[in-house]
Each structure stands twice: as C-alpha cells, then as structure tokens.
Amino acid sequence: MRLSALLHTVLDLALPPRCPACGAIVAGTDRFCVDCWRSLRFLGPPWCATCQRPFETDRGAGAQCAACLAVPPRHDGVRAAVAYGTVSRTIALRLKYNRRTAFAATMARLMARHLPADATLLLPVPLHRWRIWTRGYNQAALIAAHLARAGGVPHRVDILVRTRGTPILRGRSAAERRRAVKGAFAVRDAAAVTGQRMVLVDDIYTSGATTDACIAVLRAAGAASVTVLAWARVLDEADETD
C-alpha cells in the first residue's frame, strides 16, 4: 500500500490531474477547475413532467411544456446532466474527435444521478460501422459502459444498430432531420428488448430526431419504455454549433 501510494504521488507530480475542459491543474481525476465548474448549468426540477425540459419557475407536479402537450413524445423522458454550453461542448468534442476517452467516465459520473431507478437495460445510440472504423470507438458506448458500472444496470452494444450512414444533421430543419434518419436503425435481437425498461445513452441531445428513430424500432420490438439520458442537452437550437 505504501509503495502504491508513493507511485501515485510521483505520477501526480509528473502528470498532475487537469480540468477536462480548460486543462488547468486540479485536485483530482475527473474534477473541474472552479471557473469551469461554475459555468456548467446542471439540469433538474422544476421541469416538464414528460420531457424534463427545465422550467424557469415551478409550475406544479405533472406540468407539461407546450411541445409535449401539442405532440406527445415517443420517449419516456429526456434527462441530461448539464445544459449545452461552452464547457459541456468542449468535453464532448474532445471525447468524440480527440480520443480523450477518459472523459466518458467524467460524463457518466455526472449523468448517473439521472439514471431511472427502474432501468433494466442501457443501450448507446449506435454509430454506423464505417464511422466506428474511422473514429475507433462509439463515444456513447463508452459513456454507457461507465454508467452501467456506476448504476449496476446491464448494457448492450449489439442490440440496436445503425444500418446505414446518415448525414450531419446540424443546420437542417426538424423535418429534414427526421427524413435523414428514417429507417437508419434496426433491432438485432427483439427477444432481448421485449419488456425492458430501456435507457438510450448519448453525448448530446439536440432535436431528438436521432433518438426518436431509435425509439421507434425499440418500441416496435417490444420495449416497455425508453428514456433518453445524455451528457448535455441543447435548450436553444441557435446554440448548436457542432
């Protein structure tokens, strides 16, 4: 134990832990500096009882937002650790494009509090095989694996698959996004889905077009419920820059 502690001390001196957003030296792994921590907007009640979009004021138990009242969503809730912003965006992009795979654990640690108590199976939003081959991994799958360990809920990466590549959705209208992902997902093992209370894991939740397409095939395969759990949620699509 003393040797192990000594080695950790030497490593901390040589390679001190740094803030995942700005790179400043911090007290421990997965910790943020004070400024980056303060800039994160953590999401929670009061929020829409259906989609968990935050309200500015408490509207009472069971209150729904206008969008959910107008068109009931396919999902059973959209939960996210933080609102999309400069810090949350930076971490997501570094995980996705810069191979900073350790950031998946950082995200999962803050997402775990929103994991539904009745969840029975975690599934990541899948990437097409060509995207995985070029990137080397699916960032949502990395996050789901850490969430599974934190919450004690099984996760699978082989049930929900993306059957074809899809274009970048940024800048497209809601209708264009729905058309772009229509028919792009499939369930490989319906028996593994039937009756499950599923959590669909992703890094960023924007318009819901991708997750809605996933949920449609999961529901058709017999899922009892599907909740979306993301690292960050875009609350104003004008802020979506990536």
pLDDT, block means (10 residues), the chain with 242 residues: 48 73 88 95 96 94 94 95 97 94 96 97 94 92 97 96 81 78 92 97 94 96 98 80 49
Q: Which CATH architecture has domain 40-239?
A: 3-Layer(aba) Sandwich (3.40)
pLDDT at 180: 81
**pLDDT tens-digit series, residues 46-88:** 999 999 999 999 999 899 999 999 999 999 999 999 999 999 9
pLDDT at 165: 80
Contact call for residues 162 and 127 (beta carbons, < 8 A): yes
Contact call for residues 91 and 108 (beta carbons, < 8 A): no
Burial of 152 from C-beta contacts in 10 A (0-12 / 13-18 / 19+):
exposed
pLDDT at 131: 86
pLDDT at 9: 47
pLDDT at 201: 98
**pLDDT tens-digit series, residues 121-133:** 999 999 988 888 8
pLDDT at 103: 95
- What residue type is assigned to position 198 of the chain? M
- The domain segmentation of the chain, as residue ranges, is 1-37, 40-239
d(CA 88, CA 17): 18
All residues at 6 or more sequence positions from 76 whose CB lies less than 8 Å from its CB, including other chains: 225, 226, 227
